[in-house]
Amino acid sequence: MSVGVSLLKKTTIEAETFVQRLDGRVKFLYFLWATIIVYIFFDPLLNLIFLAVTMALAVYAKCWKPIALTILIIVVPWILFAVPILALPLGFPWNKTIIGYINILGKDYPVYLEGLGWGVTWPLRIAVAISTALLFFLTTNQAKLVATMFKMKFPFKLIYMVIATFQFIPLLASEANTIMQAQIARGLRTDVGFVQKIKNYLAVVIPLTLSALNKVQIRAIALESRGFSAPVKKTLLYEASFTKLDYAFLMTMLLVTVFLAWVYVYIGFSPLAHLPWIWSG
Amino acid sequence: MSQEIREVSPTGKAIIAVVLIPTIAALNYVGGVIVEALKAPIWGDTWATILGTFIGGFWVGAAGGFLYNIIMALTVWGLPSWVWGFANVAIAAIAWFMMKMGWTDLKKPMTWIMMIVLYGLVYPAFTTAISIGIFGGGPLWKPLAAAVYTATLSSTGNFFLANYVQNAFTEIIDKPISFIISVIIAQRIPKRFVLAK
């Protein structure tokens, strides 16, 4: 979670690279496209290729650090937990193909391909989804994000809600920190038992909630005073439009899609790792 | 001479709801952060959905919870996680049902029974379906939950049961506590903020 807070505080990384210049819709489409493709195939190596391409774009766009950190915190522990539990003979029902043996405390245990494949492929699918989502989020500033959503015909109220959430999170996080410091100054301790920890939680979230609700009405008045619900055409600070760069990126995605469709039809769903098919894989 | 005091809200309920929804989403998020800071033994990122349902009704709570998942899916968790938004809708639906049935009084035993049955046993069936269908199931990356998963899987060989038991193990503590937290906060909220009837 702390990674998330630092990420959402950061919002966007401003740099003059082609990734930042790409239209928000193109980056959003890349995020959807990559995620769908890694779900269609069941191949950890293909997932790694998608992850490597996304990370290369992130390095170029100078936003690779938060992405790498998020993957390190979410995906790596998941693989470390899933692989031994699923690949060793602990009951994973689709285990059939033994690929080797591992010696634990003087006894040899078989390692199964099905469990290993499952335990690596699923977290890597999520890694691709996370990295592409963060690439979109960290390289598209809020004005562009509003324009992107507006062009995608999202309702105006929904656009406000999404943008407002991004704005509220760092504000509330900072307020929670202030409340927590005040409570600690009054003797709130964190090295306590289960029930006391819940009471401590209440001691922070009650003032936070009341303060947040107080601001709801002020924000509502501010919105109304700017004609938020007025039945007129809304105008934007930034107009989203496609450039040659966007068309080139879209064309590349189209060509890769055609190639991968051919691979799927003629080679199969696991073209590089050659994993066997298992239910819900 | 007694005079009835009426609180006047300067804005319409619709616009209040529009501002309330992102506030709920942000409170869910920050709730999770506070849990981490205080090392509390819960997830702590759904109580605002329940509170939102108590304050603004089912749609406000569900929309706030769903929006939280969308934001997380677009940033930290990855696209497939947006489906957890439906879990937040289910949480809001259970909270709304309990509110309508009058099961929000923590002094009544029925509130405790239904809270544990609905949030601890019924709701995990829903999350199990999502976790297997979208994320392939498997162990969580929390040591205790992963140990429960491994123990169930190795003793029964039933993949689906292992996932359900793991989910029930985490939810049976987290969601009832979130519900209790929301009820306690809702009792302290001034009436002018309550939109739900």
Q: Is the model more confident about A129 or about A248?
A: A248
Separation of alpha carbons A93 and B159, rounded Å: 7
Nearest Cα to Cα of residue A136 among A237, A34, A244: A34
Answer yes or no: do A151 and A119 share one domain.
Answer: no
pLDDT for residue A122 is more than 80 = yes
* CB within 8 Å of chain A, chain B residues 77-96: 77-81
* CB within 8 Å of chain A, chain B residues 138-197: 138-141, 146, 149-150, 153-159, 162, 177, 181, 184-185, 188-189, 193
User: For A9-29, what is each residue's pLDDT tens digit?
Assistant: 556 777 788 999 898 889 989
Longest Cα–Cα distance of chain A, Å, equals 76
DSSP, res B76: T
Percent above pLDDT 70 for chain B? 90
pLDDT of amino acid A279: 56
Cβ–Cβ pairs < 8 A, chains A and B: 225
Answer yes or no: do A229 and A96 share one domain.
Answer: no
* CB within 8 Å of chain A, chain B residues 106-125: none
Pick B16's closest partner by Cβ from A168, A201, A220. Answer: A220
Q: Which residue has the tokens 């469990």?
A: A115
User: For B150-162, what is each residue's pLDDT tens digit?
Assistant: 889 888 888 899 9
Answer yes or no: do A109 and A29 share one domain.
Answer: yes
CB A3 within 8 A of CB A73: yes
Interface mutation target, options B68, B75, B163, chain A, most CBs of A under 10 Å: B75
Separation of alpha carbons A85 and B133, rounded Å: 19
Residue ranges per domain, chain B?
A: 13-193
User: For A125-152, what is each residue's pLDDT tens digit?
Assistant: 989 988 998 898 888 887 877 888 888 8
pLDDT of amino acid B59: 93
DSSP-assigned states of every residue in B96-159? HHHHHTTTT-TTSHHHHHHHIIIIIIIHHHHHHHHHHHHH-----SSHHHHHHHHHHHHHH--H
Q: Is the model more confident about A5 or about A143?
A: A143
Is A2–B193 a contact, with Cβ atoms under 8 angstroms apart?
A: no
pLDDT for residue B168 is more than 50 = yes
Mean pLDDT of B83-92: 90
pLDDT of amino acid B91: 95
- The confidence band for A265, taking pLDDT boundaries of 50, 70 and 90, is very high
User: For B27-59, what is each residue's pLDDT tens digit?
Assistant: 998 888 888 777 777 778 899 999 999 999 999
Q: Is the model more confident about A74 or about B115?
A: B115
pLDDT of amino acid B79: 63
Answer yes or no: do A234 and A280 share one domain.
Answer: no
**CATH 1.10.3470 holds for B13-193:** no
pLDDT of amino acid A1: 45
Q: Which residue has the tokens 């259970």?
A: B94
CB B61 within 8 A of CB B92: yes
Answer yes or no: do A135 and A148 share one domain.
Answer: no
Residues of A in contact with B157 (CB under 8 A): 91, 93
Separation of alpha carbons B51 and B48, rounded Å: 5
Q: How many CB atoms lie within 10 A of CB B155?
A: 11
| Cα–Cα distance list, A185 to A178, A179, A188, A197, B54 (Å) | 11, 10, 7, 16, 32
DSSP-assigned states of every residue in A228-250? TT-SS----SS-----HHHHHHH
Answer yes or no: do A183 and A222 share one domain.
Answer: yes
Residues of B in contact with A3 (CB under 8 A): 76
Is B181–A119 a contact, with Cβ atoms under 8 angstroms apart?
A: no
Is B136–A280 a contact, with Cβ atoms under 8 angstroms apart?
A: yes
pLDDT of amino acid B184: 93
Q: Which residue has the tokens 């049976």?
A: B172
Answer yes or no: do A2 and A95 share one domain.
Answer: yes
Answer yes or no: do A181 and A276 share one domain.
Answer: no
Is B19–A216 a contact, with Cβ atoms under 8 angstroms apart?
A: yes
Q: Give residues with Cβ within 8 angstroms of A142, minimum separation 6.
A: A11, A12, A163, A166
Answer yes or no: do A218 and A258 share one domain.
Answer: no
CB hemisphere CA count around B86 (13 angstroms): 12
- The parent domain of residue A81 ranges over 1-140+242-281
Mean pLDDT of A111-130: 90
Mean pLDDT of A99-105: 87
Pick B181's closest partner by Cβ from A35, A78, A201. Answer: A201
Q: Is the model more confident about B2 or about B20?
A: B20
Nearest CA in chain A to B186: A206
Mean pLDDT of B49-73: 92
Is B184–A217 a contact, with Cβ atoms under 8 angstroms apart?
A: no
pLDDT of amino acid A69: 87
User: For A32-57, what is each residue's pLDDT tens digit?
Assistant: 999 999 989 999 999 999 999 999 99
Interface mutation target, options B7, B28, B33, B69, chain A, most CBs of A under 10 Å: B33
Q: Is the model more confident about A92 or about A53?
A: A53
The overall average pLDDT reported for chain A is 86
Residues of A in contact with B84 (CB under 8 A): none
Residues of A in contact with B188 (CB under 8 A): 206, 210
pLDDT for residue A84 is more than 80 = yes
Answer yes or no: do A195 and A211 share one domain.
Answer: yes
Mean pLDDT of B90-109: 94
Is B153–A90 a contact, with Cβ atoms under 8 angstroms apart?
A: yes
Q: Is the model more confident about B143 or about A188?
A: A188
Mean pLDDT of A251-256: 97
The overall average pLDDT reported for chain B is 86
Q: How many CB atoms lie within 10 A of CB B114?
A: 18
Q: What angle do CA A69, A70, A75 make, to 5 degrees?
A: 110
Pick A176's closest partner by Cβ from B19, B30, B185. Answer: B30
pLDDT of amino acid B122: 94
> What's the structural domain count of chain A?
2
A239 min Cα distance to partner chain B (Å): 22
Pick A198's closest partner by Cβ from B16, B40, B146. Answer: B40
Answer yes or no: do A33 and A120 share one domain.
Answer: yes
**Both tokens of residue B36?**
């981490």
Nearest Cα to Cα of residue B78 among A136, A280, A156: A136
Answer yes or no: do A105 and A198 share one domain.
Answer: no
Interface mutation target, options A76, A135, A169, chain B, most CBs of B under 10 Å: A169
CB B99 within 8 A of CB B111: no
Q: Which residues of A5-31 are buried (b: 16+ CB within 10 A; e: fewer)?
A: bebbeebbbeeeeebbebbbbbbbbbb
